[in-house]
């Protein structure tokens, strides 16, 4: 199997993992304050990554790779904070799709700048995939856009995009340790804020299964993405990974029986076409 198709498979694995993680995290935050969910899911994912690194015998990389991981974790944490702040103060029908599109579009531009233009069929697939992400994230709703509300979702998208760009630059010999350092940096940023704003940081027992699932899925998604980006093109890896809202929406539809809009159903069909185009080599 060529590296191009293997990269797409890894990207799909990342999309499934991130989508499932967002679904589990969303359920957990309905019953538990946000910061405990984030901190304990990050801690769970970090412990899983540490266990994998220990079992696989991956050697500790150089300081450069560890710093890349820390910087990526900080960018991702800032993106997450901006996203949740935007969702709490702005219109979800604007904040979520804008953040999702920017987080995909920004790394694509950087990837094209670094690695050159992909094939025209793949570029067409990029455009369709980004349109699909917009629709699946709620961008198909007739929600008026106020430009002052775009600052936080754009910042969130840039934060997530920077995470993808930076973490894709780590050494292929040891991908787990930079991801661990990213988790440590994320927890170090969130913990002081959580202590100031939240009295009790310990989630209730009934919420732990979903929190653990969210952390594990997020960590697995990170592994799949780094594998995809290190053996293939950054832009392709990011675009394929960015379809994760489809998984979250599908799980909500099948498990929680949430109704999907016509725009979201169109997004699913567009994603299938986009993947066919992107797979062309």
User: Could you report the per-residue pLDDT of 73-125, keeping only the tens digit for each?
Assistant: 999 888 888 887 776 666 666 777 888 889 889 999 998 888 888 889 999 99
In a 3-state reduction of DSSP, which class is residue 29? helix
User: Could you report the per-residue pLDDT of 190-229, keeping only the tens digit for each?
Assistant: 888 777 777 777 887 888 899 999 999 999 999 999 999 9
In Å, how far are 55, 89, 171, 266, 279 from 22, measured between CA atoms?
27, 20, 27, 21, 26
What share of residues in the chain are helix, strand, coil (percent, to 5)?
80, 0, 20
C-alpha span between 73 and 164 (Å, rounded):
10
DSSP tag of 119: -
C-alpha span between 83 and 54 (Å, rounded):
33
- Residue 59 token pair: 């050697």
Residue 143, Cβ density class (10 Å: 0-12 exposed, 13-18 middle, ≥19 buried): middle
Share of the chain above pLDDT 70, in %: 93
Residue 9, Cβ density class (10 Å: 0-12 exposed, 13-18 middle, ≥19 buried): middle
DSSP tag of 102: H
Query: What is the CB neighbour count within 10 angstroms for residue 138?
Result: 23
Whether residue 276 has pLDDT greater than 80: yes
Whether residue 172 has pLDDT greater than 80: no
* pTM assigned to the model: 0.90
C-alpha span between 144 and 150 (Å, rounded):
12
- The phi-psi region of residue 19 (left if phi > 0; otherwise alpha if psi is between -120 and 50; otherwise beta) is alpha
* For range 48-62, the mean pLDDT: 90
Sorted by sequence, the CB contacts under 8 Å of residue 254 that are 6+ apart come out as none
Sorted by sequence, the CB contacts under 8 Å of residue 143 that are 6+ apart come out as 91, 93, 94
Closest-CA residue to 237 (of 4, 7, 1): 7
Whether residue 1 has pLDDT greater than 60: no
DSSP tag of 279: T
- Residue 5 token pair: 């198709």
Closest-CA residue to 235 (of 96, 135, 113): 113
Sorted by sequence, the CB contacts under 8 Å of residue 106 that are 6+ apart come out as 157, 158, 161, 162, 165
Domain positions in the chain are: 3-278
């Amino acid at each position: 199997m060529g590296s191009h198709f293997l990269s797409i498979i890894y990207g799909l694995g990342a999309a499934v993992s991130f989508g499932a993680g967002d679904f589990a995290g969303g359920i957990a935050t309905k019953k538990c304050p946000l910061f405990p969910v984030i901190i304990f899911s990050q801690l769970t994912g970090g412990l899983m990554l540490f266990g994998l690194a220990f079992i696989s015998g991956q050697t500790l990389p150089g300081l450069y790779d560890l710093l890349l991981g820390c910087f990526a974790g900080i960018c991702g944490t800032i993106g997450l904070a901006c996203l949740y702040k935007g969702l709490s103060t702005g219109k979800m029908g604007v904040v979520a799709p804008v953040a999702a599109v920017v987080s995909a579009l920004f790394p694509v531009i950087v990837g094209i700048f670094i690695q050159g233009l992909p094939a025209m069929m793949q570029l067409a697939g990029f455009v369709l995939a980004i349109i699909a992400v917009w629709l699946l994230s709620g961008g198909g709703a007739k929600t008026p856009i106020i430009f002052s509300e775009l600052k936080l979702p754009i910042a969130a998208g840039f934060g997530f995009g920077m995470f993808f760009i930076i973490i894709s630059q780590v050494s292929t010999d040891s991908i787990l340790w930079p991801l661990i350092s990213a988790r440590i940096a994320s927890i170090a940023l969130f913990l002081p804020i959580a202590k100031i704003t939240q009295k009790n940081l310990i989630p209730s027992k009934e919420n732990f299964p979903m929190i653990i699932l969210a952390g594990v899925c997020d960590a697995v998604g990170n592994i799949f993405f780094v594998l995809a980006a290190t053996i293939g093109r950054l832009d392709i890896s990011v675009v394929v990974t960015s379809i994760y809202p489809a998984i979250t929406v599908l799980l909500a539809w099948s498990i929680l029986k949430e109704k999907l809009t016509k725009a979201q159903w169109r997004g699913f069909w567009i994603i299938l076409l986009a993947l066919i185009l992107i797979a062309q080599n």
